[in-house]
Amino acid sequence: MIPSPAPSRRPTWAAFVREPFSRQAWREFLYGVAALPVAVAGFVFTAVSLVASAILTVIVVGLPLFALSSFGVRWLGAVNRSLARRLLGLRVAPPPRLLLEPGLVGLVRSGVGDRPSWRARGYLIVKLPIAIVEFVVAYLLRLGAVWFVLAPLQWAANLGTERVDDHGMVRHYVLNFGSFYFDTWSKTFILVGLGVVAWWIAPWALRMPLYLDRQLLADLLGPTSLASRVSQLERSRAEVIDDADAQLQRIERDLHDGAQAELVGLAMKLGLAKEKLAATGSAGDDQDLARARQLVDDAHRSAKLAITELRDLVRGIHPPALDEGIEVALATLSARSSVPVDVTVTLAASPSPAIETTIYFCAAELLTNVAKHAKASVVHMELVQSGDLLRLGVADDGVGGAHLAGGGLSGLADRLDVVDGQLEVLSPLGGPSVVTVTIPLQP
Amino acid sequence: MRVVIAEDSAVVRAGLIEILLDRGHVVPAAVGDGDALIEAVAQHHPDVAIIDVRMPPTHTAEGLRAAVALRRTHPHLPLLVFSQHIETRHVEELLAGPDSGGVAGVGYLLKDRVADVEEFLDALDRVVAGGTALDPEVIAQVLGASRRSRQLETLTGREREVLAQMAEGRSNTAIAEALVISERAVEKHVSNIFSKLNLPPSQIDHRRVLAVLQYLSG
Q: Determine if residue A375 is left, alpha or beta; phi over 0 gives left, psi from -120 to 50 gives alpha, anything else beta.
A: left
CB contact under 8 A, B112 and A271: no
H/E element, B133: strand B132-134
Return the residue in A268, A326, A342 with the most chain B beta carbons within 10 A, the one to mutate for interface testing.
A268
Percent of chain A with pLDDT over 90: 20
pLDDT of residue A404: 75
Higher pLDDT, A382 or A66: A382
Which phi and psi (to 5°) does residue B198 adopt?
A: 60, 40
pLDDT of residue A125: 92
For the ranges A341-345, A430-434, B46-50, B162-166, the one whose mean pLDDT is highest: B46-50
pLDDT digits (tens, 9 = 90+) for B88-125: 777 777 877 555 445 688 899 988 888 889 889 999 99
Query: A60: which DSSP letter?
Result: S
Q: Is B79 exposed, middle or buried (0-12, 13-18, 19+ CB in 10 A)?
A: buried
Residue pairs between chains A and B whose CB atoms are closer than 8 Å: 98
Interchain contact A290–B (C-beta under 8 A): no
A394 contacts A435 by C-beta, under 8 angstroms: yes
Rounded (10°) CA dihedral A395, A399, A401, A404? -30
Residue A23: is its pLDDT beyond 80? Answer: yes
pLDDT of residue B37: 94
A415 contacts A378 by C-beta, under 8 angstroms: no
Q: Helices in A113-182 by DSSP H: which ranges? A: 115-135, 141-149, 151-156
A362 contacts A436 by C-beta, under 8 angstroms: no
Alpha-carbon distances of B194 from A124, A311, B173, B201, B215, rounded to whole Å: 84, 35, 18, 6, 11
In chain B, the domains with their CATH numbers are 2-134 (3.40.50.2300), 139-217 (1.10.10.10)
Structure confidence at residue A413 as a pLDDT band (50, 70, 90): confident
What's the CATH number of domain A322-440, 3.30.565.10, 3.30.70.260, 3.40.50.300, 3.40.50.150?
3.30.565.10
CA-atom Rg of chain B in angstroms = 17
Task: Report CA A334 to chain centroid distance, whole Å.
Answer: 37
Q: Per mean pLDDT, which range of A79-88, A151-160, A215-224, B73-82 is the poorest?
A: A151-160
CA distance to partner chain B, nearest, from residue A257 (Å): 7
Residue B36: is its pLDDT beyond 90? Answer: yes
**What residue segments make up the domains of chain A, in order of their start?**
17-221, 234-317, 322-440
Higher pLDDT, B25 or A142: B25
- At A54, the amino acid letter reads A
Sort out which chain A residues have CB atoms less than 8 A from B54's CB and list them. Answer: 256, 320
Instruction: Report the DSSP beta bridge partners of residue B81.
Output: B51, B108
Which pTM value belongs to this model? 0.61
